[in-house]
Chain A
Amino acid sequence: MISGAQIMVKCLEKENVSIIFGYPGAAICPFYDALIDSSVKHILVRQEQNSVHAASGYARSIGKPGVCVATSGPGATNLITGIATAYTDSIPIVAITGQVRSDLLGRDVFQEADITGACEPFVKHSYLVNDTADLPRIFKEAFHIASTGRPGPVLIDVPIDIQDNTIDEFEYPQNVNIPGYKPNTKGHTVQIKRAIDLIQTSSRPVICAGGGVLTSGTKLKLVEFANKTGIPVVSTMMGIGVMPSDHDLYLGMLGTHGKGVANRAMHEADLIIVCGARLGDRAVAAPDQITKTSKIIHIDIDPAEIGKNIKTTIPIVGDMKNVMNHLLDSIGDYHVPALWADTVERWKTDLFRTPPKFEGFVEPRAFVAKLSEMLPSKAILVADVGQNQIWCANNFRIKEGRFLTTGGMGTMGYSVPAAVGAKFARPDREVVVVCGDGSFQMGMNELGTMAQNHLNIKIIIMRNDRLGMVRELQKKNYHEHYTATFLDENTPDFMKIADAYNIPSAKAYSNEEAERIAAEMLQKDSSFLLVCYVNPDTPSI
């Protein structure tokens, strides 16, 4: 005899899950009880939303689904923002929630929430389990759905009686058979041929790479393709890291907060090869403007992304890796015309601006650039949301590491929990958080998780006592009517907070100071919190 809860744990073991992030409660207690006898390690977060962000940081760093757990009702509803974040950013997550007894469903009993209903718009798929015997199949399917095709979160809601009920024996299915889910991974040969023809006749081509390139593990192939053809590469925010930042052909991030040269290349191109990017409004504000002068080859695993935001000349549905291999094999000796290569090269120098400095403050952009030189090549930088995110996106010089941020949903408070997940996934790598004083205060409860697990995570807070990005928006678009964007009167002393968790800390008022402290903290094998005082007038770009 085996209980539903034991089956759930066994399923995780079968999926080679070694670590899960969660927060217990009454309705998920049978699962937690079964967990004691398992090799699966549970990390207690300090708020359920952070369990999803931690699972996201873990998944992105290791390339397999992250798992998070919460109880019914408020535990489950706290997951929603995390789940929505993972959905928009296409991160594979399996979220498990406890639920009230199935015979009480719909009676509004204590801690009951219709979580499958509430999450419907934000999950790739969800299950409300109504039979213990279905658990193995559901878990198998959930991991398959979360991690294949366009990755995303899958929710499994398990009523407590389903966890308690027993069945005779546990058998984990070998295969999945979901009639309605067969992602097309091989790009259409004829379409790829047409794409090759179009590339070969183009005179001003640009590659626009998104998160899909990283998810599919295609970044080396993309670099190879760019090297071979000389086609310059711009990336979306989720695509940062597709190429080393210092690569000659890399032009940086595009979009409203992107690099001038990246946007200029997009606007002057006669062909844009969109790879695993959905081109949301922050990336391309006026897609119709671009398609007037440029043809579009759009490669994506999700057919629904093609033609959604930008009109496509040649759609290719398939896994980026397969398609990129195919393109590499067939491109022949095409190389971009020298004129285009020279023009782009000239823009790079023309459009480069050194940020002005404010006395008595850290210049965050220069510091982020310097920090990237100081970090090991494979370091993982986790940026939060706001000005800190843009400073990092545009100035962090990525080498072989990762840049993690929530580019699609833009959820404040992402960085600290995501870094916790990343550190568990890659304990051998330096993991650094850059956040603002606003975003830090949304995720700082995870200092508890860091301290409890003796993690080595370096946190850099860019403190300007403002909600800087909104303030900037108010300055530009709302006639300098600054409302609700001041933190200064009540911003706590972050060093005291760090101290409460026994995490050492320091503060810096100049780049020299910040660099010196950063160099020292990077020598240490333990967490550290560095508060950089930034002038509130420092712009995002």
Chain B
Amino acid sequence: MKHTLYILVENHAGVLSKISGLFSRRGFNIDSLAVGITSDPKISRITIVAQGDEYVTEQLEKQLNKVIPVIKVKSLDEGTFISRELLLVKVHCNASNRTELMKVAELMNARIVDVAVNSITLEYAETVEKLETLINLLKPYGIREIVRTGTVAIEKGTALNSK
């Protein structure tokens, strides 16, 4: 089962290694991890997408809470949050299929950020599912390189959320 959570941590050197070390040490499988500072520069926010049943995710939260520089751990329920991941993808391209690729980009709302003689690079910030769709659509053209940031997630505003 996929599980999204975010952690607020003190923005110190070494905190990320404490968090990532904990995952491997306790045998938690993570799909993605993204980190960046918040509006308070002393605090960073880490978004984690992990796999595991109820037992695993409960333990995960509790173990994260034990890490001293961890200020808050919040597990996000399905449907209560917006999540995005940024993808940069470089695809083989030549004069004969460039228009076709542009159509794919347009169809998916991906931005073309670089064009070269034999490649085209797209930027795409969407849900993981949509990222997968785009990647699948691009595969037949030959993908040269993919870079992904990992998922970031934010809770929906309270007005939209019945809770």
Please indicate whether A and B come from the same complex rather than being unrelated chains. Answer: yes
Q: Which of B59, B68, B70, B71 contacts A124 (CB 8 A)?
A: B68
Q: Which residues of B contact A128 (CB under 8 A)?
A: 14
Number of interface residues of B (CB under 8 A): 20
Shortest CB distance A207–B (Å): 24
Instruction: Enumerate A477-532 residues with CB–CB distance to B below 8 Å.
Output: none
Q: Is the CB of B17 within 8 A of A117?
A: yes
Query: Which among A145, A181, A304 has the greatest number of chain B C-beta atoms within 10 A?
Result: A304
* Per-position 1/0 for A299-316, Cβ under 8 A of B: 000111001100000000
Answer whether residue B21 sits at the interface, using C-beta atoms and an 8 A cutoff: yes
Q: In the complex the two chains form, what is the Cα distance from A128 to B70 in whole Å?
A: 17
Nearest neighbor of A120 in chain B, beta-carbon distance: B21
Nearest neighbor of A117 in chain B, beta-carbon distance: B17
Shortest CB distance B14–A (Å): 7
Nearest neighbor of B69 in chain A, beta-carbon distance: A180
Answer whether residue B74 sits at the interface, using C-beta atoms and an 8 A cutoff: no
Answer whether residue A125 sits at the interface, using C-beta atoms and an 8 A cutoff: yes
Q: Which residues of B contact A117 (CB under 8 A)?
A: 17
Q: Is the CB of B70 within 8 A of A180?
A: yes
Interface range for A: 10 to 19
Q: Which residues of A contact B58 (CB under 8 A)?
A: 307
Shortest CB distance A81–B (Å): 17
* Per-position 1/0 for A115-140, Cβ under 8 A of B: 01100110011001000000000000
Q: Which residues of B contact A125 (CB under 8 A)?
A: 68
Q: Is the CB of A181 within 8 A of B62?
A: no
Q: Which residues of B contact A145 (CB under 8 A)?
A: 68
* Per-position 1/0 for A34-58, Cβ under 8 A of B: 0000000000000000000000000
Q: Which residues of B contact A304 (CB under 8 A)?
A: 59, 62-63, 65-66
* Per-position 1/0 for B56-95, Cβ under 8 A of A: 0011001101111111100000000000000000000000
Q: Which residues of B contact A121 (CB under 8 A)?
A: 21, 25
Q: In the complex the two chains form, what is the Cα distance from A117 to B55 in whole Å?
A: 28
Answer whether residue A106 sits at the interface, using C-beta atoms and an 8 A cutoff: no
Answer whether residue A179 sits at the interface, using C-beta atoms and an 8 A cutoff: yes
Answer whether residue B126 sits at the interface, using C-beta atoms and an 8 A cutoff: no
Answer whether residue B9 sits at the interface, using C-beta atoms and an 8 A cutoff: yes
Interface residues of B (CB under 8 A from A): 9-10, 14, 17-18, 21, 25, 55, 58-59, 62-63, 65-72
Q: Which 6 A-B pairs have the closest CB atoms?
A: A304-B62, A125-B68, A180-B71, A179-B71, A180-B70, A181-B68
